[in-house]
Amino acid sequence: MTSAKQEFKITHVSPEYWRVSIDHPPFNIFGPESIPMLNSVVTEIENDPKVTVVVFESAVPGFFLTHYDFIPPLETTISMPAGSTGLPPLPDILVRLTRSPVVTIAEIRGRATGVGSELCLACDMRFASREKAVLSQFEIGAGFTPGGGPIARLPHMIGRGRALEILLSGNDFPGDIAERYGYVNRAVPDAELDKFVDTLARRIASFDKQSLADIKQMVNASTLPSDKEVGAECSAFITSVQRPAAQHNLKKLMELGLQKNPDVEIHLPKYTGEVNLPDKK
């Protein structure tokens, strides 16, 4: 792991205000090697006495953060030890991020699919480029269930019907619709997004850290799903991704160019729709 390129780069704008840039071109795909890197970032966030607000952004045009890497054997992921919450590594990291005393903001420009959407949902606030952001939970189209918390988180945030639409359709939700649904706080014109998020982050960073943490903790108490709910989702993902339907669809998606062909990554709902058509005789 030490020789792998660092995919999550921290910039200390000030002691109170950090930015985390996701930099794993060409598609910002998240895999087993990404887990210890993101875990290291979250551990720093938890342990630093001064940091108050952290913004997650992408350094890769067109992609905020995308789905899990399907090339490494699943055993690589399953064999990783549980985190400090007792949850498997990825949900552990996301739960800890949500419950940390630090305010977290996702600045979404490009595609946030699968794990990317799940990281956004684990942040306290989400601001999307009106023209360039696309959010989705694509997993149903590939024949399996999500595993990083969206089934548990989305109904609390946007209501049952809209949560089911996102999870059961596997469709894309561009910035303006994501805003309308409550998937993001708001969609901002792309040319204004950086300044908007930076201004908000600097304002929050100027406030008292303990008071911010107290407010977040009390809001968390009435809005967050339990760790048990999030853990059950991860178990369902591991089970479902091994089923024949998922293995069939993933094989066909890889043959079409998943993780290689930009068109497949950019138009994922189109291709998941194709692999679910009956095989031609």
**Mean of the per-residue pLDDT values for the chain?**
96
Question: Per-domain residue ranges for the chain?
Answer: 8-190+225-275
Phi, psi of 18 (to 5 degrees): -115, 155
Alpha-carbon distance of 25 to 271, in angstroms, equals 21
Are 77 and 34 a contacting pair, CB within 8 Å? no
Whether the pLDDT of residue 1 is over 50: the answer is: no
Tokens, residue 178: 């994501």
Are 30 and 44 a contacting pair, CB within 8 Å? no
Q: What is the pLDDT of residue 3?
A: 52
Q: What is the pLDDT of residue 5?
A: 87
8-190+225-275 falls under which CATH superfamily?
Answer: 2-enoyl-CoA Hydratase; Chain A, domain 1 (3.90.226.10)
Out of 7, 16, 139, 179, the active site residue is 139
Residue 276 pLDDT class (50, 70, 90 cuts): confident
* 189-241 confidence digits (pLDDT tens): 999 999 999 999 999 999 999 999 999 999 999 999 999 999 999 999 999 99
Alpha-carbon distance of 64 to 72, in angstroms, equals 21
Under 8 Å CB-to-CB from 165, ≥6 apart: which residues?
A: 171
Whether the pLDDT of residue 281 is over 70: the answer is: no
Q: What is the pLDDT of residue 279?
A: 67
Q: What is the pLDDT of residue 2?
A: 44
Indicate the pTM of the whole model: 0.96
Count of CB atoms situated within 10 Å of the CB of 210: 10
CA diameter of the chain: 66
118 is an active site residue: yes
Alpha-carbon distance of 107 to 64, in angstroms, equals 8
Whether the pLDDT of residue 68 is over 80: the answer is: yes
Out of 7, 118, 179, 265, the active site residue is 118
Closest alpha carbon to 98 in 21, 152, 28, 167: 152
Phi-psi region of 30 (alpha: psi -120 to 50; beta: other; left: phi over 0): beta
For the segment 160-184, the average pLDDT, to the nearest whole number, is 98
Alpha-carbon distance of 97 to 19, in angstroms, equals 14
* 99-120 confidence digits (pLDDT tens): 999 999 999 999 999 999 999 9
139 is an active site residue: yes
Whether the pLDDT of residue 12 is over 90: the answer is: yes
